[in-house]
Amino acid sequence: MDAINPVILIASLIVASTPILLAALGELVCEKAGVLNLGVEGMMIFGAICGFAIAVETESPLLGFLCAALAGAALSMIFGVLTQFLLSNQVATGLALTLFGLGFSALVGQGYVGLKAPATPAVPFGPLADLPVVGPILFSHDAMVYASIALVAAVWYVLAHTRAGLILRAVGESHDAAHALGYKVVRIRLLAIAFGGALAGLGGAYLSLVRVPQWTEGMTAGAGWIALAIVVFASWRPWRIVLGAYLFGGISVLQLNLQAAGIKIPVELLSMSPYVITIVVLVLMSRDRTRTALNAPAALGRSFHASS
Amino acid sequence: MNFRLALKGAALAVATGLAGIASAQDEPLKVGFIYCCPIGDLGWSYQHDVGRQAIEEEYGDRVETIFQESVSEGADAERVMTQMALSGADIIFATSFGFMDATNNVAARFPDVQFEHATGYKREHPNVTTYNSRFYEGRAVVGHIAGKMTETNKIGYIASYPIPEVIMGINSFFLHAQKVNPDVELTVVWVYSWFDPAKEADAARAMIEQGVDVITQHTDSTAPQAAAEEAIAAGTRVFTFGQASDMLPYAPAPRIASIIDNWNPYYIKRVGQLLDGTYESMESWGGMPEGEVVIGEITDEVPADIKAEAEAMIAAITAGEYHPFTGPIMKQDGSVFLAEGEVATDEQLLTMNFYIEGIDGDIPN
Amino acid sequence: MIRLEKRPNPSRLWTALTPVVAVVLTMIAGGILFAALGKDPFEALRTIFWDPLFSEQFAAFSRPQLLIKAGPLILIAIGLSLGFRAGIWNIGAEGQYIMGALCGAGLGLAFYPTQSALIFPAMVVAGALGGWAWAMIPAVLKIRFGTNEILVSLMLVYVAEALLASAALGILRSPEGGGFPGSRNLSQIDAMANPELIAGTGMHWGVVTGFAAVIAAYVLLNRHILGYQIKLTGQAPRAARFAGVNPSMLVALCLGVSGALAGLAGLFEVTGPAGQISIDFNSGYGFTAIIVAFLGRLHPVGILLAGLLMALTYIGGELAQFMLGIPAAAIQAFQGMLLFFLLGVDVLSNYRIRIGKGAPA
């Protein structure tokens, strides 16, 4: 049996991780604004079908991704209106959003089962892609992979170094204080929710257009939940989202590679390994208590009402 | 619809004995189906639903079909079947292994309703039938093609759960690949799911990276075909087979043939028997002769001589001249499974829990 | 300009009325959805909400089924609600449900074919312990390392599912099943069965336990110091600490109790309605129960009603699917809408709606 080729493994784990990376990044921004949206799975799958449908109809993956982002944002606005204006409980509303999204996307997608999506091409890096090692790892992907990393950088920069980021974090830390300072808490949170929805939609479309690629009911198969977990795992830091998503995606791919390579480890252990290892790494990281606690937005999950 | 059913009940109550038979003839036969998965899965449940539509097409106004998709095992399945029986269903097809005990429980309560359970073995009541297809016959044919088509001598199998049905398929596939290509090696990846497109795609990619150039699967999505297509685009030579449904969008390559679950002949036959009064509960295990296992179009990627051999095998199995599990066959540990000329019994097949000689690796558990 | 003005106290009238308003709104929105799918909206809504309860054809069967479907939801949701009130987020009840079923069934099957009246009670204890132990993993990690319990409890669901598949295919596989996955049918073994207690009512030990949990939680929250501590911790964690509440104890208690109840639900399900351990034994009760807990506003009586309502939409939804040919996906979307409306109109019980330009509060 051949050993596993680490270069190809890394290249394929990047593809496997991008959907959860995108969704987790969106949720991070949402949570930084103090909103816990458990509806990621529902928004992802809605993005998956909308992106797929548009890409099939227009033959343009780019338009597909664009519409997936819009669709995710649109669906997230149900959550936004309910939690921000009608002050409903965020945990329950998010779960309801997942339920609704799964059902609604299946309805929308009834005519798209079994179709093929137009291919999303790799970015033409020319000779760079032929370089040994770095070529396959860095220069052989489609545009969304690079876009996802660029988005991480942008989110990191905005959160850490701009006034907008400061305001967003202030809203997430203490909405009352932010309100007292004259910031429009509800408006800011709605924007954050929409951003989260858009990225979840993109992540879903990455599944249906690149990673799988096809449309079937329930095809996200829990990816949205993993994205939620990755946010906690990353202790609300953008770059750690990359780490978390690649770690999780990497182990998921690795366990299949180990099987394919004929390594004799019990399959049951391999199939639960991504989850167990995530827990173990989280425990190791969270031993440093104070730092983790500092990053969790203090007002996470709380409803805000101006006159309260 | 309810109103009509209420009328049906009232009519029967008034005219008991006298016009009972006549009114039963006026009413369409009500045929119920329960599926484990959404019918949009394009795999297992989808093919059963194709069979349901075939019944409607065949018998028109004489039948009415009802169905419920995405039913969980256990209490949910039992409730759905009971409600279907209460709604006047005359026969109910429970199309997933997990519905086995629920089917028998409900059958006990409705002795006048016929129950048919797919892929199970329990028939605790006279109104329970079990039925299944000999998918291993299809596996034999694609195994033959795989053995001939591989250049790297590595063929792959994406497997769901380690149960006899799946193990039987793996053995049949490998046996026939090995017969035509003694150097062939089999890679099995267990994904522990019947349907998880992302995982199936990853499994296919992992195998392709290991040099596997012919992949078959016992999971339902087209994700492996898509992964193979991507590899072809990148210059790798890879072939796959459609599973459950034809998966024709991926022809002529990577999909070079397919094993189609064709339940239509069986469903049409059984409902027809119920309509004309010749129905009896039974244990049915059909295959190619009955038209239940169909090999989809073998594409031109497969050289003509290999295609001819495959078609000859299909003809031999269909004619009952060849059984894919005919000895000599050794088990993985070298002990004898079937002696020269010996043919496996159904019992041996249905309880198969070992790999045959030549397969590396262990079955989980 | 529409504004919300907080009521000094929740309106009793609106608290009672909001579910009705929500159901009416859902019927309108759902009716539009069904009409868009080409189905008669009135027939669809009647089939979902009325037929399971009152139609001659189905009610006698469906009414008891409500209890069977709602039982585990209520039992799990009660446990979860205690933690949710204190700000302790157990999202992994599904895993605890699986582990309860696995441990209980494992213990019972280990004694097969002994027939003793002690076996079932022992299995109940094992089921509760199994769920408890699985929930104590996030509890201990949280107490010892401050690890986030949402993530750990959620990840453990997937681990539990892998264990379930492994057990159904391996250690618990029925020796009489000819290599097929799945354990013996526990509901058909007298010593291990959790049968219907009164014929035709749907009452089994799980439903009884569910009702008992509702009462116990009500007493705990209203009459007991512990209930006060839970509520205080949720509302004002700092104040709770000054009041002498030990947060570690509370984490262990809330996660432990919710895990034990989820484990019990799993055990009663596997010995009764489900009957056996199989690969897909779990069907999402643990996740649905989270919704039930919040729909019931984390109040024991509310959870009881919310559980029954959810069960009704499941059973009525099934009828609508095969009687009217409405796709399962539409029913799921409809359930989602019902939840949206229930959660959305809740605002009326806590806030007044003011129209026009009032003075800013």
**Separation in Å, CA B97 to CA B163, B293, C9:** 11, 18, 54
pTM of structure: 0.90
In a domain, C357, yes or no: no
pLDDT at residue C339 tops 80:
yes
Closest-CA residue of chain A to C234: A302
> What is the spatial order of strands in the sheet that B128-133 belongs to?
B63-68, B29-34, B91-94, B114-118, B128-133, B283-286
- State the smallest CA–CA distance between residue A21 and chain B in angstroms: 15
Judge: A102–C151 Cβ closer than 8 Å, yes or no: no
Task: Please give the pLDDT value at position B15.
Answer: 38
C69 touches chain B (CB under 8 A): yes
* Chain B residues near any Cβ of chain A (below 8 Å): 38, 40-42, 46, 156, 187-193, 195-199, 201-203, 205-207, 209-212, 221-223, 226, 230, 233, 245, 249-250, 360-362, 364-365
In a domain, C350, yes or no: no
Q: Which of C260, C301, C267, C297 is nearest to C281 (CA)?
A: C267
DSSP B214: E
All residues at 6 or more sequence positions from A294 whose CB lies less than 8 Å from its CB, including other chains: none
Q: Which helix (H) or strand (E) holds B220?
A: none
Task: Tell me which residue range forms the domain holding C304.
Answer: 40-325
Q: What are phi and psi of B242, to 5 degrees?
A: -65, 145
Judge: A103–C346 Cβ closer than 8 Å, yes or no: no
* Count of B-C CB contacts under 8 Å: 116
Instruction: Give the C-alpha separation, A183 to A188, whole Å.
Output: 8
B67 touches chain C (CB under 8 A): yes
Judge: C55–B2 Cβ closer than 8 Å, yes or no: yes
In a domain, C360, yes or no: no
Judge: C178–B72 Cβ closer than 8 Å, yes or no: no
CATH code (residue C48): 1.10.3470
Q: Which of A40, A274, C109, A205 is nearest to B192 (CA)?
A: A274
Measure CB to CB from residue B66 to each of C47, C276, C322 and give the nearest one: C322
- State the smallest CA–CA distance between residue C343 and chain B in angstroms: 26
In a domain, C358, yes or no: no
In a domain, C23, yes or no: no
C345 chain-A contacts, CB cut-off 8 A: 86
pLDDT digits (tens, 9 = 90+) for A63-116: 999 999 999 999 999 999 999 999 888 888 998 999 899 999 999 998 898 788
Judge: C337–A293 Cβ closer than 8 Å, yes or no: no
In a domain, C256, yes or no: yes
A283 chain-C contacts, CB cut-off 8 A: 141, 145, 147
Q: What are phi and psi of B120, to 5 degrees?
A: -100, -175
**Separation in Å, CA C246 to CA B229, C222, C226:** 59, 20, 11
pLDDT digits (tens, 9 = 90+) for C50-94: 999 998 888 989 999 999 999 999 999 999 999 999 988 898 999
CA atoms within 13 A on the CB side of C14: 15
All residues at 6 or more sequence positions from C139 whose CB lies less than 8 Å from its CB, including other chains: C149, C251, C252, C255, C256
In a domain, C54, yes or no: yes
Give chain A's radius of gyration (CA, Å).
20
- Disruptive mutation site among B205, B208, B214 for chain A (greatest number of A CBs within 10 Å): B205
A213 chain-B contacts, CB cut-off 8 A: 226
The band of C106, judged by pLDDT with boundaries at 50, 70 and 90, is very high
Q: Which of B210, B171, B212 is nearest to B354 (CA)?
A: B171
Task: Please give the pLDDT value at position C180.
Answer: 81
- Disruptive mutation site among A46, A84, A85, A87 for chain C (greatest number of C CBs within 10 Å): A87
DSSP B95: -
Closest-CA residue of chain B to A13: B202
Calculate the dihedral angle through the C-alpha atoms of A139, A144, A145, A146, rounding to the nearest 10 degrees: 60
pLDDT digits (tens, 9 = 90+) for A138-194: 888 899 999 999 999 999 999 999 999 999 999 998 888 999 998 999 999 999 999
In a domain, C7, yes or no: no
Instruction: Give the C-alpha separation, C304 to A253, whole Å.
Output: 43
Task: Please give the pLDDT value at position C70.
Answer: 96
Chains in contact with B via at least 3 Cβ–Cβ pairs below 8 Å: A, C
Closest-CA residue of chain C to A289: C146
Closest-CA residue of chain B to C170: B365
Domain count, chain C: 1
pLDDT at residue A308 tops 80:
no
Query: From its phi and psi, is residue B322 left (phi > 0), alpha (psi between -120 and 50) or beta?
Result: beta
Judge: A82–C344 Cβ closer than 8 Å, yes or no: yes
| Encoded amino acid at C131, one letter | G
pLDDT tens track of chain B, all 365 residues?
344 444 444 444 433 333 334 344 568 999 999 999 888 777 889 999 999 999 999 999 999 999 999 898 888 999 999 999 999 999 999 999 889 999 999 999 999 999 999 988 889 999 999 999 999 999 999 999 999 999 999 999 999 888 888 999 999 999 999 999 999 999 999 988 887 888 899 999 999 988 999 999 998 888 899 899 989 988 899 999 999 888 888 888 899 999 999 999 999 999 999 999 999 999 999 999 999 999 999 999 999 999 999 999 999 999 999 999 998 999 999 999 999 999 999 989 988 989 999 998 888 87
Judge: B98–C315 Cβ closer than 8 Å, yes or no: no
C69 chain-B contacts, CB cut-off 8 A: 75, 79
Please give the full DSSP string across C6-26, using - where no structure is assigned.
E-SS--HHHHHHHHHHHHHHH
Instruction: Give the C-alpha separation, A287 to A231, whole Å.
Output: 17
